[in-house]
Amino acid sequence: MNISAYMTQPVISARPDEGVRTAFFRMREKGIRHLPVLDGEQQILGWISDRDIRRPDWVDPDHDTSFGYRLEDDLLVKDLMTTNVVAVHTYDPVEKAVAIILDRKYGALPVVDKTGACVGVLSAVDLVRTLRDLLEASALSAKVKS
C-alpha cells in the first residue's frame, strides 16, 4: 500500500514571498492546516502550518512577557516556515509515513515524486481514511469467510 493511493491532491501550496495572512486564509478556505512552500519548479523550500502562523514561537519568548502579534501580510511565509522539511515519496509504503508522523508528532508530510517535485500531502486525516479502508476490507473479508 503506497502513499500515492492515500495522499491529498492537488497540492495547495504557498510561495516564500507571500504574506502569512494570505496563506492563512487560503488554508481556511480550503479546510487544510499545512502548506508546502514551493519554488516555481514544485521543489520544496519549506513547510508552514496554521499553528506556525497563528502564534509563532518567537512571539512569546518567555512566560513572563508577551508581545503583540497581528496576522498581516507584511510578515512573509519565509519568515515563519520550517526549512528542514521531512518528505515521503509516492512509492513509499504508508507504514513509513505513519512511523514518521508518530515519531515526530507531525500533522502531515509533503509527498514528492522521483524527481523531488511535491505532488501531494499526506495528513493524519488521510491516514485515518487509510485505517477506515483497511477496517472495511477486513470486515468484508471476514464476512466472505463466514
**In the chain, what are the domains?**
3-60+68-145 (3.10.580.10)
Query: Roughly what angle, to the nearest 10 degrees, separates helices 124-145 and 94-104?
Result: 130
pLDDT for 62 equals 62
Query: How far apart, in whole angstroms, are the C-alpha atoms of residue 59 and residue 54?
Result: 10
Report pLDDT for 109: 98
Cα–Cα distances (Å) from 38 to 8, 56, 139, in that order, read: 16, 20, 41
Predicted TM-score (pTM) of the model is 0.85
pLDDT, residue 145, reads 77
- pLDDT less than 70: residues of the chain: 55-69, 146
pLDDT of residue 142: 79
3-state SS class at 96: helix
